[in-house]
Every structure is written in C-alpha cells, then in structure tokens.
Amino acid sequence: MRFDSVMAAINAIPPRQSLTYAPSFGIPALRKQWQKELFSKNASLADKRVSLPVVTCGITHGIATFADVWINAGDVIILPEMMWGNYGMIFSVRRDAHIHHYKLFTEDGHFNLPAFEQVVRQEAADHRKLTVLLNFPHNPTGYTISDAEADAIVKILKDVASSGTYVVAVTDDAYFGLFYEPECIQESIFARLCGAHPAILAIKLDGATKENYVWGLRVGFITYGGTFSVDPTDLFDALERKTAGCIRGTISNASHLSQTILLNSMLDEKNSAERQEKFDILMDRAKRVKAVCTDPKYAPAWDVYPFNSGYFMCIRLKTVDAETLRVHLLDRYGVGLIALGPDNLRIAFSCMEAADVEKLFDIIYQGIKELENSQ
C-alpha cells in the first residue's frame, strides 16, 4: 500500500527500497559500500579487520547510541576543553558521565600532547577503563592533527593499555576528508588505533551528513575495530548486534529512503567528481579565510587558533567579551557567529562565499572597535 502523492516525490525509488522498514542494522548493501570506502579512505586499515558499519540516524544519533552502549553513569570521557557543545548534552545530561578536559593547543599552536597525556595517565591511574573521544577535523577550531601527532596519541593510549587499562577510543569523524593543508593526517586516527593493542577498542562514528553533503537525510555509521584474543568475526558480530539492539530500542531503524538515496549516490559514477567539486569550494573558502583573518591590521583585536580543515575556525578576542560582541554583531549587522566562553568566537566559513570573507572580518573588527569605544 502506498499513496501516489508520496510516490510522486520519489518515483525513481520503488516502495520496497523506500517506504518499507530498513533493518535496525541498516541496509546490507549500504553497510558494505560504506565499509569498502572506509578501506579506500584510510590507508592504515589495509590488512586490518573492522566490523560492518551499523547505520544510525545521523552522527548525533551515532554518538548517543555509542553512549547508550558503552557509557555508564559516573564514567569519565576525555575531551578537549574546546568541544562541540552537544557532547555535554549527550554524555553529561543523558548519561550522567563526567567530561574531563585537557587544553587543546600548546602555546605554539600544536596539539597539546603533554596535556592530553597527563589527563589520560591520571584517568588510567584512577580507573580500569578510560574513554577518549577524538574529533578531527575539530569542531569548533577546524584543527586536524598531523601524522606525527596521531602517532604520538596512539603511542600514549597503547602505553596505558599495556599497563592494564582498558581503552575505549572513539572517533567523531563528522568532518572527515575536509583536509585543506598537507600537514593534516589524511586518514582517521581510528585506522591507527585499530589493532594498536588488544586492550584498545576503536570505535568510528561518521556519516554522510558532511562527507556526502546530505545534512537532512540523517545517515550515520558506527564501526568497530581492534585486534582481540577471540575470533574477530564472532566479536564484531556480537558488537553489531548489541549496537543494532540499542537502535531497535530507540529509533527502531534509520530512514530506508535516505539510505537508498545515499547508496545510489555512492554507486553513481558522478560521485567522486561531485565530491571533489564541493571539496574545492570549501577549500577555497578556508584558504581565503586564512589569508584575510591573519592580516596584521586585526592583530590588536584577536589571535587566530590553528585551523587546517573542516567547517570552522576560531578567533580569541583580546579586548571585548565574546558574547557581548556576538549579540552586537547580530543586532547591528545581522551577522550570526557563535561565542564560546568569554574570549572565543567561532566562524563557520563553510556557509560563506569566498568573496564575502573580507567583509565579514571587517565587520567583526568594526564591531570590536564600537564596543571598545563604548566601554
């Protein structure tokens, strides 16, 4: 049974691929195709085994499902102090977990390995299990670690695993692939965490949202990796079932129509050219932002946090309060930015024409001057 009025909008996709329920695991062909692409996008996965991805309703739901399956009340999750705000909602509010922060950058603008190591070692000393969430490209700063930084992170986690701590290392790869500078690692750190040590369980959360430019279709994935003392076929099967069981008990299954649209697009011969075209536009915007925001004329007003990837960049304000400036820019100029704490402003260059970049930074600067003069 179906309505013509519904089918009129999706007539290229038959009801059995759109209107019927998808399995709680996701449709098999899409899971296989996403897994195939994981291997082609992540060189270090060669010769390693990972589970079949389980389909979620977007990455937020992937994170929430991860939290439901793996996080108990009181557990600690290690995250940088600058982070996507929704982690607080998912881990602290929904699951009653504690987020322990480390400072993301060193003074010279690199990933803060000493701070990361310190919080990891502290948690390893206090608990039998630790959970680390790694998000690169990073929201809100747009930073992606280098190869060397990735290897150093893996080494630290391997070290605490060797000393008897179970490590759950979860990657939020929402902005995967949007790497604009050669120094960025060109794969997910998930690939290097897989098999790093039998006591490390690597979990990859990713999705079509940003990778395939389909924000509203709501298709995400959860994939497990690692080398364990038992046969990985049985283990991955158990992990996939446990995860799909959780999905069955929350949303039942993700949209069949969305999964089919995504699968068809991934199999379309135009797919890689389409992806490249959109990537080029975003990279152009990022490069333009980098050239403009570091102009010495703005130096009295802000510092720029390192960025080389993703959708966003952040500036650290030197003279005015971030929330006051945000409200002022919105009221006076209709410019919408995000204030993070008292000093930081996040700018989403992903949704801005390259030609408007200079105008935007001039407006921010103007707004700062106006607030300074009114103080």
Ligand X SMILES: Cc1ncc(COP(=O)(O)O)c(C=O)c1O
Among 167, 174, 322, 360, binds ligand X (CB under 6 A): 174
| Sequence-separated (6 or more) residues with CB below 8 Å from residue 273 | none
Closest CA to 130 of 86, 83, 157, 168: 168
User: What's the CA gap between 219 and 262, in Å, rounded?
Assistant: 8
- The binder of ligand X chosen from 51, 135, 260, 344 (CB under 6 A): 135
Per CB under 6 A, 207 contacts ligand X: yes
DSSP reduced 3-state for 102: strand
Shortest Cβ distance from residue 11 to ligand X (Å)?
27
CA–CA gap between residue 164 and residue 166 (Å, rounded): 7
Q: How far is the CB of 232 from ligand X (least distance, A)?
A: 27
Q: Which one, of 338, 227, 208, 304, lies nearest residue 265 by Cα?
A: 208
188 binds ligand X (CB under 6 A): no
To ligand X, the closest distance from the beta carbon of 64 in angstroms equals 9
Residue whose tokens read 């993703």: 310
Number of residues that bind ligand X (CB under 6 A): 12
Question: Is 351 buried (19+), middle (13-18) or exposed (0-12) by CB count in 10 A?
Answer: exposed
- Rounded CA separation 201/132 (Å): 11
172 touches ligand X by CB under 6 A: yes
The footprint of ligand X on residues 27-46 (CB under 6 A) is none
Shortest Cβ 260–ligand X spacing (Å): 18
Taking only Cα atoms into account, the Rg of the chain, rounded to an integer number of angstroms, comes to 22
Q: Looking at 14-22, 53-61, 89-97, 188-196, which segment touches ligand X (CB under 6 A)?
A: 53-61
- How many Cα atoms sit within 13 Å of 223 on the Cβ side? 30
Within 296-315, the residues that bind ligand X by CB under 6 A are none
Q: Applying CB under 6 A, which part among 16-24, 57-65, 234-242, 275-283 lies near ligand X?
A: 57-65
- The correct pick among 17, 24, 42, 60 for binding ligand X (CB under 6 A) is 60
Of 220, 226, 232, 306, the one binding ligand X (CB under 6 A) is 220
Query: Which residues bind to ligand X, rule: CB under 6 A?
Result: 58-60, 84, 135, 139, 172, 174, 207, 209, 215, 220
